[in-house]
Structure 1
Amino acid sequence: MLDILAITTPIFLLMGIGYVARWGGIIQREQLQGVGVFVLYCALPALVIRALTQQPLSDIFQPSYLLAYGLGSLFVLCAGLVLCWKLQRQPLNASAMQALGMTASNSGFVGYPVAAMVIGSPAAVLLALNMLVENLLIIPAALILAEMGNQQGSNVWQTLRQTARNLAKNPLLIGLTVGVVIAGTGIDMPLPIEKAIHMLAEAAGPAALFVIGGSLFGLRAQGMMRDVGQIVVGKLLLHPLAILVACLLVPSIEPVYMAGALLFAAAPMISIYPLLGQRYHLGDVSAAAMLVATVASFFTLSLLIWLMTLSDLVAF
């Protein structure tokens, strides 16, 4: 319990600093948005590049794990879309963002520290694998659907072309492409560039959490409980359950990697989720869902670790 607190408490403190800064008038909404732009266009791409270039791709590529984590995550993404778009008749862009919140974990700032504490060094390999799934499959799929929702009423091919143009400018995908190219070719980055990328990557987590905390100031929860509740339940309960089933169905996954997959899946959504939500008119819902999921994940992660200990999947 104390170990979990040691991981989650700094997250709450950074969010709290952002909230207090907005409450005290130290930073204004427009300035906060500027910090968000820095995270989205500078710090986050650097984080992706660093994660993909720390080890050769051949060392981190495990097809069975990628298949299981990818299938489980894709199932939750599709389930979220069916619930929000088809059953609740919400707009496609809002539905895609809600489905993304149910599926894309905060692998770097919550999942990895928890997994490293429980399973040790394999957590670093799983972090890289999960980022491949999230950045190559889940996030692009959700962004494509959200962009298509924004372009409704246009010709299908025009929509696809506009979506492709917008995605080509997406800093997350640009960073992913750069990271894959560097890791795949074995290019050695000049030391000053490598240090600059490292410094930007280190800033991604604190700055994103600061923005999240500041964006919660003045938030009204009326009328959002249904959307927030289903995003949080989908992320903290459905996603780990789907990953568990996928790991059991896909052969050749070692128990330690199964345990790590469950821990990553049980983490709250990516820290830039509210920033992405703002782009598709879901800023308040995504920020509230991030807050509720982060608080609730303290209890759900503790419960998951206890259950894995009982089942001998992990041992302390």
Structure 2
Amino acid sequence: MLTVLGITAPIFILIGLGFLSVRGGLLSREQMRGLGVLVINFALPALLLKALTERRLDEVLNWPYLTAYALASLSLFAAGFAVARWWRGQGQSASAILAMGMSVSNSGFIGYPIAVMVLGQTAAVAMALGMLVENLLLIPLALALAEAGAQRGNGGWALLRETGLRLARNPLILAIGLGLLLSLLQIRLPAVPLKVVDMLASASAPVALFVIGGSLYGLKTRGMAADVTQAALGKLILHPLALLVAFLLLPGVEPQLMVAGLLFASAPMMSIYPILGQRFGLEERCAAALVAATVLAFFSISGLLALLTLVGWR
């Protein structure tokens, strides 16, 4: 148990420091957003670029892992959408956004910092593969369904086009594309750019955790127990379980990548979840789910690590 706490405690202490720094007035929410921009636009892209260029393309594009991650996430998305839409009677937009919260992880801000402490650089490759599934498949699907549910005429097609253009300009996607290209051509970065990339990459994990803590301050959770319960249970418990089943059904995934995938799947939903929900008037529900899932993740991830240690994953 001390081994598990040695991994999880520093993670959530950094999250707590970010929360307290905003609550105590040391940093404002606007300043915390600035740090988030640094992580999203510079540190995480540098990390992905470094991880991908240090490996051959056949090592990076692990198709069994990609298939398992996509299958598990899509299955959970479909199940979450069905439960919210036809069992709980939610609207289509609310159901799509809730299903997205259950199936899309906070890969950069929480999943990676935990996985890298456990597995080292394997975590960066798993993050790149997971982000391909999340950014190119799950998020566009959820937003298209939500837009269609809002009955805004041709808004669904316009949203798909807008999403595609936004993805084409996304620094994370650009870094993945460039890293895959350099890996394919077996080109290594020159010494000076490589040093810059290394310095930015090393800042990604601690700053990301600090930012997620600061972003939690001020979010409200009142009066949304059913949505919060479904989102948190689905994200923290059902997502890693679905991925475990997919790994068992689809052989060929390396043990370290399996552990990395389970850690990413057990992370709470992405920090921009309330922002995506705001377009459909769901920001308060999304914020409540984000707060609850992030707090509960300390216990669920600690439990997962304890279980992995018990079965001798090292």
Distance 2:293 2:13 in 1: 15
1:33-57 Cα deviation digits (max 9, x unpaired) = 2222222222222222222222112
Q: How does 1:151-190 map to 2 (within 5 A)?
A: 153-155=152-154, 156-190=156-190
Aligned residues of 1:236 and 1:266 also touching (Cα < 8 A): yes
Q: CA deviation at 1:154?
A: 4.2
Distance 1:189 1:6 in 2: 34
What's the Cα RMSD here?
3.0
Q: CA deviation at 1:73?
A: 2.5
CA separation of 1:303/1:86 partners in 2, compared to 1, >3 Å: closer, same or farther? Answer: farther
Aligned amino acid, residue 102 of structure 1:
S
Distance 1:39 1:60 in 2: 22
285-294 or 133-142, which moves further after superposition? Answer: 285-294
Distance 1:258 1:135 in 2: 14
Alignment-derived partner of residue 133 in structure 2: 137
CA separation of 1:291/1:227 partners in 2, compared to 1, >3 Å: closer, same or farther? Answer: same
Structure 1 unpaired stretches of 5+: 117-122
Q: Could you tell me the TM-score, scaled by structure 1's length? A: 0.81
Query: Aligned pair 1:35/2:35, yes or no?
Result: yes
Aligned amino acid, residue 268 of structure 2:
M
Q: How does 1:6-17 map to 2 (within 5 A)?
A: 6-17=6-17
Alignment-derived partner of residue 113 in structure 1: 117
Task: Quote the sequence identity (%).
Answer: 34
Distance 2:95 2:176 in 1: 25
Distance 2:20 2:77 in 1: 34
Alignment-derived partner of residue 284 in structure 1: 287
Q: How does 1:198-217 map to 2 (within 5 A)?
A: 198-217=198-217
Which secondary structure does the structure 2 equivalent of 1:274 belong to? Answer: coil
Q: CA deviation at 1:288?
A: 0.3
Q: CA deviation at 1:71?
A: 1.6
Q: CA deviation at 1:6?
A: 1.0
Q: Could you tell me the TM-score, scaled by structure 2's length? A: 0.81
Structure 2 unpaired stretches of 5+: none
Q: CA deviation at 1:5?
A: 0.8
Alignment-derived partner of residue 298 in structure 2: 295
Which secondary structure does the structure 1 equivalent of 2:271 belong to? Answer: helix
Alignment-derived partner of residue 120 in structure 1: none
Aligned residues of 1:45 and 1:176 also touching (Cα < 8 A): yes
Distance 1:50 1:85 in 2: 42
Alignment-derived partner of residue 95 in structure 1: 96
Aligned length: 300
